[in-house]
Chains A and B, each alone.
Chain A
């Protein structure tokens, strides 16, 4: 392991001390949503006036909107007045040793290969002080500072880097973009902000607080990531370990902006509580993620592994505005039991010679429903635009469903668009081949599924890829036979 990896490893395994948690008072807002609540949130975060106004504008737009019903998912209606929009993180019950942790959870950790220390942290066991090495983290912080990289929480950014936030927030996902984005814009609690200055290549993978900060930043997170000219950053979000979250509704917004020659790689592993085997409970995950290739020769790449949440509604998209810009989307969406996922991407080609690539792998098992919904749009001016899309679905069991809704809109005759989709199940012959060689059915299925997803997994950063593979195996346990 190189020194760099060692640093990353240490940091991702340690507590986050930049002030996400400690500065916030233990106080909650009353239930419901109105202007006063937004003022309250804004005041709590000591935000400048323009931010409050921005939130209020979003709230006004939100009031005019109705919940979208077009997605291929069904869930009980959310009462938006029954939600607490601001809660300071509750102090976690500190356990004394791993023996007190739910053995089911420990089993999962073990299978994922999560280190003992991290296991403790994730399950809320008091972490050894020695493990929380301050010096390593300082090194990490200094490295970033030296390069001029800003990486902090959203609230901090609003306070300390107001000009940057003001310039870019809402430029990719405007307040009135959609129902959930408007809601998020009005009440977002926190999130991450990242700015990579001109010509800087971020020397390490940036992970969000999910791994750093166990308390999380609540249900309405907002992430803004800007890569200035010639910059490069790889950003990780999420965690393979199961997250037990009390908030049922999650409406996050992620905005990426890549200027000339910049590249952003954004990877997500989402494993939130999917509900139990009978489909009770589970998280509603309604996320708006969008990247703007603003400059020429810029590149944005989304990679996601979605295995959690009861209902997922998520379309990480790329607007390819700059000439020669590239958008990529690699996705594995696995649904089991009663999970429902409606996910996909949008590739909007505006600039000349823009390229996009979509690889989506859907796996449905149990009684779940898995949909791919995508849009490839080639504007009239997008000379020589090129798109390749592939969406494959794998069905396991005869009670699940796999659906594809690809929209293709082409208005330029020098462009080339290709789309292909297949749906099938694991063939008896494939299983037979494995079994003949002494590999039992469950392992065989796991291997086939991993092979099916390999193309996407290869795009995940190393440390995620290993865990994500195991995660797929665990998520499918018991669905064969």
Chain B
């Protein structure tokens, strides 16, 4: 795709975009020699023929509408089709306390990250949402990313600001409308003001020709709570980079993830929590259930700055390998510069205990069902973190479906 980028460079109108693309090309495509990409072969995406989408394309409105209606779990929705925001399909624009507009691409960051720069250069659209102070949005806000053209390469950049004391729940749905191959490179920044309470769910289930590189950056102010739950059920390569900057005292950060992969998927979850101030807490729970020839990667980094005394940071990464061709690579990493802290991490990898299987079998449950139930229970701990009943049920159903058990 490098050649395609070179072709695009002269067409780009905006100076920022041009600069960003130039930066990306200077940084170069990430290779496995790069510590950050040690376990993920990005070339597998890059060598395919994806078409960078720069302008709007036509699609069958009714088809898509029906598809969304069938898959939605809430009435609040924001819909992107082919990288363009769809006003007719979305319905949050008129909410009195929510400032809303699509963000044109104006940001020019100078990062060292290939994908961020690429997103800066090519992002077609995104949402800029400003949720006012003290706003409580009862229902989940669902964000759909869909496409109707073949093999698109879609860049979306979202920027969301949450006001003081606001309570909002989001769900990003990376699902596939036509099972065709696609590559999404999404960047989301989330600013959480004082005492706000945010929950962000990501459902990544676009089939095995679906590729995602997602980058989410969260800034938290005093006493805020922010939880991100990532569910990966299918996808050729999925890479989630999640960064928290904890800038306000007494705030809480939660990160949960469940990767349930039974074919040949590759999911790379990377989290980074920067504890910049004192008295904060962070909790991380990432679980992997890996079968087939799938690969799970987890890299959890917690940096506790010298000023961040009395930080409590806990991290847990647990894996069940259900097939002998699956692989888990994990690297829980702590970097601590303050002394009065409590930090821990744990990582395990194993299989279902024979004794547990026996317990169920002794009660007349067949071996395969018993195994399914135990694996389901293992994953359920993460699913339970979803605080929206319809979405939770939907995810549960999907987990059961993949594991071929009846609830």
Least Cβ distance of A5 to chain B in Å?
42
Please measure, in the bound complex, the distance between the C-alpha atom of A408 and the C-alpha atom of B331, giving whole angstroms.
6
Residue of A nearest to B298 (CB): A408
Contact B348 A413 (CB under 8 A): no
Least Cβ distance of B351 to chain A in Å?
5
Least Cβ distance of A82 to chain B in Å?
30
Q: A399-B306, A414-B324 are in contact. Are A422 and B344 (CB under 8 A)?
A: yes
Least Cβ distance of B399 to chain A in Å?
19
Asked if A436 lies at the interface with its beta carbon under 8 angstroms from chain B, I say no
| Contact among A393, A398, A421 for B346, CB-based, below 8 A | A421
Residue of B nearest to A419 (CB): B347
Asked if B48 lies at the interface with its beta carbon under 8 angstroms from chain A, I say no
Contact B327 A411 (CB under 8 A): yes
Chain A residues touching B, range: 35 or more
Asked if B49 lies at the interface with its beta carbon under 8 angstroms from chain A, I say no
Least Cβ distance of B347 to chain A in Å?
4
Asked if B309 lies at the interface with its beta carbon under 8 angstroms from chain A, I say yes
Least Cβ distance of A358 to chain B in Å?
12
Contact A408 B347 (CB under 8 A): yes
Instruction: Specify which chain B residues have a CB less than 8 angstroms from the CB of A417 in the assembled complex.
Output: 347-350
Asked if A145 lies at the interface with its beta carbon under 8 angstroms from chain B, I say no
Please measure, in the bound complex, the distance between the C-alpha atom of A424 and the C-alpha atom of B344, giving whole angstroms.
9
Contact A398 B347 (CB under 8 A): no
Least Cβ distance of B97 to chain A in Å?
42
Residue of A nearest to B295 (CB): A411
Please measure, in the bound complex, the distance between the C-alpha atom of A120 and the C-alpha atom of B319, giving whole angstroms.
57
Q: Which of B321-353 contact A (CB under 8 A)?
A: 321-351
Instruction: Specify which chain A residues have a CB less than 8 angstroms from the CB of B346 in the assembled complex.
Output: 418-421
Q: A408-B331, A409-B329, A413-B323 are in contact. Are A421 and B351 (CB under 8 A)?
A: no
Instruction: Specify which chain B residues have a CB less than 8 angstroms from the CB of A414 in the assembled complex.
Output: 324, 351
Contact with B along A409-431 (1 / 0, CB 8 A): 11111111111111111000000
Please measure, in the bound complex, the distance between the C-alpha atom of A399 and the C-alpha atom of B305, giving whole angstroms.
10
Instruction: Specify which chain B residues have a CB less than 8 angstroms from the CB of A415 in the assembled complex.
Output: 321, 349-350
Please measure, in the bound complex, the distance between the C-alpha atom of A403 and the C-alpha atom of B343, giving whole angstroms.
11
Instruction: Specify which chain A residues have a CB less than 8 angstroms from the CB of B341 in the assembled complex.
Output: 395, 423-425
Contact B334 A408 (CB under 8 A): no
Asked if A404 lies at the interface with its beta carbon under 8 angstroms from chain B, I say yes
Contact B324 A413 (CB under 8 A): yes
Asked if A308 lies at the interface with its beta carbon under 8 angstroms from chain B, I say no
Contact A421 B334 (CB under 8 A): yes
Contact A413 B351 (CB under 8 A): yes
Asked if B35 lies at the interface with its beta carbon under 8 angstroms from chain A, I say yes
Q: A417-B347, A421-B346 are in contact. Are A401 and B335 (CB under 8 A)?
A: yes
Please measure, in the bound complex, the distance between the C-alpha atom of A416 and the C-alpha atom of B320, giving whole angstroms.
9
Q: A397-B339, A419-B346, A421-B346 are in contact. Are A409 and B327 (CB under 8 A)?
A: yes
| Contact among B35, B321, B334, B340 for A410, CB-based, below 8 A | B321
Instruction: Specify which chain A residues have a CB less than 8 angstroms from the CB of B351 in the assembled complex.
Output: 413-414, 416
Contact B339 A425 (CB under 8 A): yes
Asked if A405 lies at the interface with its beta carbon under 8 angstroms from chain B, I say yes
| Contact among B322, B330, B337, B344 for A408, CB-based, below 8 A | B330
Q: Which of A350-385 contact B (CB under 8 A)?
A: 378, 380
| Contact among A396, A405, A418, A422 for B333, CB-based, below 8 A | A405
Residue of A nearest to B330 (CB): A408
Least Cβ distance of B319 to chain A in Å?
7
Q: A70-B35, A401-B336, A403-B334 are in contact. Are A410 and B319 (CB under 8 A)?
A: yes
Please measure, in the bound complex, the distance between the C-alpha atom of A393 and the C-alpha atom of B350, giving whole angstroms.
26
Asked if A407 lies at the interface with its beta carbon under 8 angstroms from chain B, I say yes
Residue of B nearest to A370 (CB): B336
Contact B339 A396 (CB under 8 A): yes
* 29 A-B pairs with C-beta separation under 8 A: A70-B35, A378-B349, A395-B336, A395-B338, A395-B341, A398-B306, A398-B338, A398-B339, A404-B332, A405-B331, A406-B333, A406-B347, A409-B330, A410-B327, A410-B329, A411-B325, A412-B321, A413-B321, A413-B323, A415-B349, A415-B350, A417-B348, A418-B348, A418-B350, A419-B345, A421-B334, A422-B342, A423-B341, A425-B339
User: A410-B349, A417-B348 known; 16 other A-B pairs, CB under 8 Å?
Assistant: A393-B334, A395-B339, A398-B340, A405-B333, A409-B327, A409-B328, A411-B325, A412-B321, A413-B321, A413-B322, A413-B324, A415-B321, A417-B350, A419-B332, A421-B334, A422-B344
Q: What 10 A-B pairs are tightest by C-beta distance, nearest first? A: A413-B321, A395-B339, A419-B347, A417-B349, A416-B350, A423-B343, A422-B344, A411-B327, A410-B349, A420-B346
